A and B are shown apart, each in its own frame.
Chain A
């Protein structure tokens, strides 16, 4: 209490009581003195001074500005308004960002003789002043005089309040010049003084480029398709996708079979919202205007509806042409049936009304393409590749239609036939064609020397394979033999009386093969016998000895070498000579020499 008394926070009554007590109580007076000293000690603490520069720096750091002498930026849209304390911001004469229309100009100060009636008579808008009064005074008596007075359209006096700085009003061409002079201000406010209806701002310009427009269209299309696919199966009968994704294809096959089936099933099972669908009408007796025999039995469409609702439309068959359906059903090629609700039936929806011979008319199937296919309404006309065939109709569930080819898709037949014809043509042309030209044979004869390395390449492997072809006129193969050798090498000194004692041959080295002919000279033999070595063909080497007698057939050649066979040709094709034929696996080069003995050595490489 003493502390509060010291701080003058006590109530006057309590303060008076305490002062009375302090007069007679030294203890409380002493305590009050201590408290006063302590308060003075704390109050005597040194102060901190912040100069202006530091204060500006602090405020700039915080983000507030205390400098009122500096004007705000000229383009600042939130510049301070002098009348901010008096008028609400949305009633300011200047346009605000949040207001789509420009508010009315601030009214002139109310003259003493000015009243609402005069304001209404002069056409001066009083919206602002009324609003301000409403804010100041919650309840206000109505002023029937001002409300009943209708503002007159034109007053010459009003032209005096015209402010030249304001833009010219937008007045329709039909409006008179008086109205334009009467109301000076805002183009958004018409001559009656009320703000014009809010016009939404112009939409943002969409990218008109090719790529941007394409993407926009694709995006919108996808969004619409998804929205329709989501919403249509649920509760919307009127929404049908007739093209694009989710719609039945052009040939009638639904792209989304589940969706189509759901639509059909729901349509069949859903109760009709038409009250006539639930009311059992009495049997209809055919009247004079209903011809039960109009629909010929031959025109009965064998389509069987899957819904009991469709039976309610059977009375359509009893209706004469051009009565309720809108077209003549007897017209050839015309529509055989139409989608008519039960409420459109002339005689009710009782299934027995149509009689036994009446054909059932099904209601609208989802998708006009589907309906076209199932009904055969194109009359056999060609309306596109694969649009309407029996196979398509059968695949899609249609029970009727022009039977062009029964049971099989015509396009499949055409495709198969084309494939077969192409195969036959290929076989025939292949048989009659000439064989492929033989590869160029590099005959060993073209090589001038025995040691040529390029002469005996690839020829031996090609020549034999080209012979057995089925060509009627096979290409001639060079006929080689002992009488026509190529790459001939002649050795010897013309000695006679020799005989071949033996022939040895085998692999000699990593890449070599050696043949050795041992000669036995006779009693009068001198020198070495003449020998001719040459190729009969690419893989046949002939060795012809003159003045020599063969001792016998040589042994079979061992495997693994270039020589596959070594035989003594008997009888000798060359008179006066013995001929050895060496069969090679491939074309090789050879080097022949006579050694002492004499001994003929042939190295094949």
Chain B
């Protein structure tokens, strides 16, 4: 057969295609063998369902990929927006006093506290609904006063 030492692949490639081997019986039998094998190349074909299966799998994969990237984008957006919703800048609180004090629950609680303080002074009576209502008016007045002070302070700092 052939020389077992091939200096490089290009030499080997040219060796196989070299016309000087045409008269060599070994080379011609190799060529016959190669042509025999080459002819059998088209004998095997893919099955009929491979094409739709592959195309469908590709479509499914792309759809999943798009969905996953959409969800990732939404998650990133959420992560970016969540802290800004939770934490307000300090200067915003200074400019918008309602953000600090306009809370109905805390206003009622404060009103209860004021009324309780007043009750201690006048008598040791319990806090009634009517008293609480008057205390609310007083608390609301104080709140507006406090907001006005804050607004004046904010204007002064500008």
**A, B: real partners:** no
